[in-house]
Amino acid sequence: MDAYRSPLRADANAGRVALVSGGGTGIGRATALELAGTGARVVVCGRRPDPLEETRAQIEATGGECVAVPADVREEEDVARVVDSALERFGHVDVLVNNAGGQFEAAAEDISVNGWRAVHRLSVEAAWSMTREVATRSMIPGDGGLIVFSGFSPLRGMARFAHGSAARAALRNLASSLALEWSRHGIRTVCVAAGSIRTEALSRYGEDAVDEWERGVPLGRLGNPEEVASVIAFLASTGGAYVNGTTIVVDGGIDA
């Protein structure tokens, strides 16, 4: 595969303000960098300060603007504080990327109620908390915007990830439901469902598991975070302005 080069112009998202949860690593960091590289001012949040600062430093090293806010998006007070920081610095939020999420590998019968709740609290409830906060405080009273939810591929479900697959399916339906309600405010809602992407989080499952997932990709390789990030940055630009209420799959053909 050729080295990654952004397919978008450097001013494709000029004037926009983007908020990316889980922006310190993986797809979240790549998305923050791509949005900044195409002209957006960016706010990143996440639980670990050091990775957030690394993202901020990378953006500012290339002349961009970035605010890093350590926060646990499972907590409503932290969500409000993140949005406060964005509005105080930039005045509005045009793009929200709900990237924060997490799950663990387990047979379905071994997933406890507490384990199920933990996954859904981060992947679904926290995404809704952030979405509602940004929408009611900036997008609905303002000029609309784009809200992105992070889904899974294959869409039909995954063995040993019943909790995570169910949570991401909820986000797909949330995206389509909100499109029906909030399009009148100029708000677009889209789910981007990524397949097996080469990230720090993926490597934690072990080399054997990662190799097995890679063999299952029709393209014959894992995806890179930048390939997901560029799709999100395109959706934020005027080129993606008519994409709404749907799920876009970025998975090398896994869902097929």
Q: Domain segments of the chain: what residues?
A: 17-250
Q: How confident is the model at residue 72 (pLDDT cuts 50, 70, 90)?
A: very high
The domain defined by 17-250 folds into Rossmann fold (3.40.50)
Model pLDDT, residue 116: 97
DSSP states of the chain: -PPP--SS-TTTTTT-EEEEETTTSHHHHHHHHHHHHTT-EEEEEES-HHHHHHHHHHHHHTT--EEEEE--TTSHHHHHHHHHHHHHHHS--SEEEE---------GGG--HHHHHHHHIIIIIHHHHHHHHHIIIIITTTT-EEEEEEEESSTT--TT-HHHHHHHHHHHHHHHHHHHHHGGGTEEEEEEEE-SB--HHHHTT-HHHHHHHHHT-TTSS-B-HHHHHHHHHHHHSGGGTT--S-EEEESTTTT-
Which pTM was predicted?
0.97
Using one digit for the tens of pLDDT, what is the confidence trace for 121-139? 999 999 999 999 999 999 9
Model pLDDT, residue 200: 86
Using one digit for the tens of pLDDT, what is the confidence trace for 198-207? 998 888 888 8
